[in-house]
Amino acid sequence: MKRSKTIFIFSLALLLLLISACSDKYLAFKERYQFRSKDGAPDYSDLNYWAAHPLKWDPSDSIPAPLRNEKRDTSVDVFFLHPTMYTMKMKLKKMNADIDDDYINAKTDYSTILYQASVFNQHARVFAPRYREAHISAYIIKDTNKAKKAFVLAYEDVRAAFIYYLKNYNNGRPIIIASHSQGTTHALRLLKEFFENTPLQKQLVAAYIVGMGIPKEYFINLKPCEDSLQTGCYCGWRTLKRGHLPAYIKKENGNSFVTNPLSWTTSNSNSQQKYNMGSVLYNFNKIIKNTTEALISNGALWIKKPKFPLSFLYFSKNYHSGDINLFYINLRENIESRIDAYFLKQ
């Protein structure tokens, strides 16, 4: 009982410290987001409406300290769609975030753009549009029409951003589509509309669409990546504690493609944690090796509880927030391998 009380007090203190640190960071940068759109929609000719863009410095340019001596080139573009940041109480019952919400914009830049989009920066120019994302409740509310409208509006922004990118920045360069969570909801539509069975498919290095199920019947011409060097394909996974299968995944009956980010195959063989080359977690400048194994099962990626400092205080069975971070170095190296393979084929 005494030990449990000590752990609880320590956990609470740690949580308060993390909240304080995050709040200070967001408050410190909120003044950078005082732009205002004319009609409530994003203007992608204005760099403020890009969370990441090669024509400005942003957190996607950050490199973990141990990697700063890497050789770098930006021969490829990545179009990255961030996960849901609109998780607080809805403003005036709005199902879509305001594009000028300075708190959401700062939260986006110093969480997902820093910790996820940065994985691509060794070999790619990173483009990540801001968009009027649907509120997190859109995934669970009973009013499906209301939810659908919210996702449609969000996708309209994503689509407009991609068209603007193609017209003004792409110039025939190879493309990686990358996303997490709600970003993947929109990336699936983007790949279907712009890449599947179109001339643009030849420019697709690969798609890393993570954090959502990928129905096996969704694509016809686009194929899942079956090994670490295949190009023009897509990878995706949802990370859960081994043995844990939420009801919404059970309902799928295994109807989702899953990639193992340690082996880059779709087989159900276990990849031992010694093959995990490094995670980037709370401390962006520290790489933690051998944090976890990976095994595909029932349309999900199962792992044992990750090993990292203070991990004994982490009790969640759903590692959704770590889908990318847990495999940061494996992802970084695979991106390089696929880019090399793409250019060899050319």
Residues 60, 66, 69, 73: is their CA dihedral positive or negative? negative
pLDDT at 118: 98
| β pairing state of 295-297 and 50-52 | unpaired
Q: What pLDDT is stored for residue 72 in this prediction?
A: 87
Q: How far apart are CA 177 and CA 62, in angstroms?
A: 20
Helix axes 144-165 and 182-194, enclosed angle (nearest 10)? 60
Tokens (6 digits) for 14: 């740690």
The predicted pLDDT at position 346 comes to: 83
pLDDT tens for the 346 residues of the chain, in order: 444 444 444 444 444 444 444 555 556 556 666 778 888 999 999 999 999 999 999 999 999 999 999 988 889 999 999 999 999 888 778 999 999 998 899 999 999 999 999 999 999 999 999 999 999 999 999 999 999 999 999 999 999 999 999 999 999 999 999 999 999 999 999 999 999 999 999 999 999 999 999 999 999 999 999 999 999 999 999 999 999 999 999 999 999 999 999 999 999 889 999 999 999 998 999 999 999 999 999 999 999 999 888 777 778 899 999 999 999 999 999 999 999 999 999 8
Given a contact cutoff of 8 angstroms between Cβ atoms, the answer to whether 76 and 124 are in contact is yes
Q: Of 291, 285, 284, nearest to 239 (Cα)?
A: 291
Please answer whether residues 304 and 317 qualify as being in contact, where contact means their C-beta atoms are separated by less than 8 angstroms.
Answer: no
Give me the pLDDT at residue 18, please.
41
> Residue 202, Cα to own-chain centre: how many angstroms?
23
**Residue 275 backbone phi and psi in degrees, to 5:** -90, -5
Q: Tell me, what's the pLDDT at 173?
A: 97
Provide the whole-model pTM. Answer: 0.92
125 within 8 A of 77, measured Cβ to Cβ: yes
* Pairing label, strands 175-180, 76-81: parallel
Q: Can you give the pLDDT at residue 38?
A: 83
Considering only CA atoms, which of 215, 236, 254 is closest in space to residue 320?
236
Q: Name the residue with tokens 């009013």.
A: 143
| Distance (Å, whole) CA 134 – CA 141 | 12
- Provide the token pair at 79: 């179009």
Beta bridge partners of 223: 233
Using the Cα atoms of residue 57, residue 58, residue 61 and residue 65 in order, give the sign of their dihedral. positive
What's at 212, amino acid-wise?
M
pLDDT attached to residue 6: 42
Which of 125, 129, 109, 153 has its CA nearest to residue 47?
A: 129
User: How confident is the model at residue 21, as a pLDDT?
Assistant: 46
The edge-to-edge listing of strands for the beta sheet with 124-129 is 50-52, 124-129, 76-81, 175-180, 204-210, 233-235, 223-224
